[in-house]
Structures are given as structure tokens and as C-alpha cells.
Amino acid sequence: MPSIIKFDNILADITYLKELASTYQLDFASLPQQRQLYTEQTRQRVGQYALISDEGGVGLVDISDPKLLPLRVDFAADALIYRKDKGGGKNEAIAKAIGIKKNAQLNVIDATAGLGTDSFIMASVGANVTMMERTAIVSALLHDGLIRGGKEPNCAEIVARMRLASGDAREQLQQRVAEQDTNVDIVYLDPMFPHKKKSAAVKKPMKMFQTLIGSDLDADDLLTPALSLAQQRVVVKRPNYAPFLQDHTPTMQIKGKKHRFDVYLTHHSLRTGHTKSADETQTPD
Ligand SMILES: C[S@@+](CC[C@H](N)C(=O)[O-])C[C@H]1O[C@@H](n2cnc3c(N)ncnc32)[C@H](O)[C@@H]1O
């Protein structure tokens, strides 16, 4: 079982950490000091990957690689970079892919939430986002990121539109279909796809994440319940070289340099006349 580790020499909210551990079925461990973390003894005790709690919040570490900084969900940092680089997200390809419209509050399920970056961008353009994530250690990172982000003035308003529904999305989507839930406008999917060997450009902490998660080889199973549930569209983010999910040709595509968004307008939207607008077929970046 993966662990969450606290250090005796760093002040921590033990009640919170124990709750986090019990919610996501993680072991709770403590070490006297940080320098005991990257040792063979600790690796034997907790395994290669673990969560630590330090001054920066909860972070994912690779016990065998002390050079890697802990990987955290930091919506405040994202918000700053995002604002600095883009000056607002409505022109983001993802905003176009989900069909963001002025004054329309979309309810989005991000069924493969990962580190929540795409969820955050969708929430930053006004969507209410439910994040589903099945890997316990990643859910705990998201949980902690939401709590810290909710206290940061530069992103608290955006984080307030995000909620975590930990667990396998295939079951959760099917459950909502069975309950005839009509409140979900968009289902967004970004499953992990096997990376080309040459893709050295992936930053090291992200490599740690990719190694931890592996490839989501069952991703095809998400498309059918997603199409049944989404009232407007299903959006699938794929590397440009990846095939369509279930070999199912999308209604339209939005292509970027490395990724594309496959957009499936659902039968609900076709029935109610919610169809694509002209600018959604263009090719950004
Ligand atoms: C490529 S990452 C998503 C990255 C994310 N879009 C972001 O911006 O950070 C894919 C994530 O989906 C999760 N995942 C894959 N299949 C899932 C499923 N059936 N249910 C819930 N989570 C799933 C994986 O555990 C992984 O964390």
C-alpha cells in the first residue's frame, strides 16, 4: 500500500494527514528528518513512490531519485503562469473544444483528472468541474491541492468550481447513466497514452507521474458511457499520433502541435439542436 510520510522535524497537521491517508487508503508513516527519505531502508519500507508532507504541502516523490522535486498539485502556481502566458483562457484550445460560451455555466466531468491542470483551465473559463481519478495517490494529491488552492486569493474562486470524485470513472459514469442524470453537459477524457520512446521533452517530474500511472490501456471503455451521459459533447485529448478511442471518428477535431481534441457531439445535443459553431473547427496553435 502506498504511504504518506510526515517528518518529525516539520510541523504538520497530523489529524488532517491521517484523514487523508484513511480516505485514500494510504499507509501513514513518519521519519525523523527529510534526509532519511531517499534511503534504501525507506524504499524497502514504503516502496518506490510515496507522498510526503512538508512546508509546500503534500507531494509525490520517487524515493530512488533525490534530485527530483516533489510533484504537487499547485493551482496557485498554475493560475499565475496561466494568466501571465495567456491573459485569460477563452482562446485556449480546450475552452473551444468544450464549447465554452458567454454566460453559459457548463457542468463538466473530467473523467481522467490526473493532476487537475485541464480541470483547472476549464474551471477558469467558468465551467463547474467534477474530477474523477482512480489512482489513490493521485486523488490524495488533488485533494490536498484543492484545499491549499481554496485558500489562495489568486485561484480560490476558480477552485470553488472544482470538486473531486475519487474512484474509477467507468463505474461512476455508468452509475450516472443508470440514474438518468441529465446534468452533465460535457465529459472530458485525457487518458494516459503510451509515449513514443523518443519523447525526451517530457519534464522529469511528469515522467515520474507517467511511470507511476503507466498507460491507461482500458481507455476505450470510457467512451460509451461518456457518450450516453454527456448532454452536449464528449471531448477526448489525444497525442496527434494516437488513434481515436474505440476507432470512433469524432464529429470534429481541434488540432495543436502535439495534441488534438477529438470532439463528439452527442445525440442529446443533436436532438436539441446544440451543434458546432464555425470557429470550433479551426486549428489553433
Ligand atoms: C494523462 S493523465 C490526465 C492529466 C490531466 N488531464 C491533467 O491535466 O493533469 C490521466 C489520468 O487519468 C486517470 N484515469 C485513467 N483512467 C481512469 C478511469 N477509468 N477512472 C478514473 N481515472 C482514470 C489516470 O490515473 C491518470 O491520473
Confirm if 135 and 26 have CB atoms less than 8 A apart: no
Residue that the C-alpha cell 454527456 belongs to: 230
Q: Give which of 93, 96, 117 is closest to 106, Cα–Cα.
A: 96
Distance between start and end Cα atoms, the chain: 42
Centre of ligand 1 to C-alpha 211, Å, is 13
Model confidence over 142-155: pLDDT tens digits? Answer: 999 999 999 999 89
CATH 3.40.1360.10 fits 75-281, yes or no: no
pLDDT surpasses 70 at 281: no
Centre of ligand 1 to C-alpha 36, Å, is 31
Residue that the C-alpha cell 499507509 belongs to: 27
Pocket of ligand 1, beta carbon within 6 A = 111-112, 114-118, 132-135, 138, 168-170, 190-192, 213, 216, 222
**What band does 280 get if pLDDT is binned at 50, 70 and 90?**
very low
The residue ranges of every structural domain in the chain are 3-62, 75-281
Output the CA torsion sign for 167, 170, 172, 173.
positive
Cα→Cα distances 205→65, 68, 72, 115, 171, Å: 10, 6, 10, 12, 29
Model confidence over 196-253: pLDDT tens digits? Answer: 765 555 677 788 898 899 999 999 999 999 999 999 999 999 999 999 999 999 999 9
Q: Give which of 157, 109, 152 is closest to 131, Cα–Cα.
A: 109
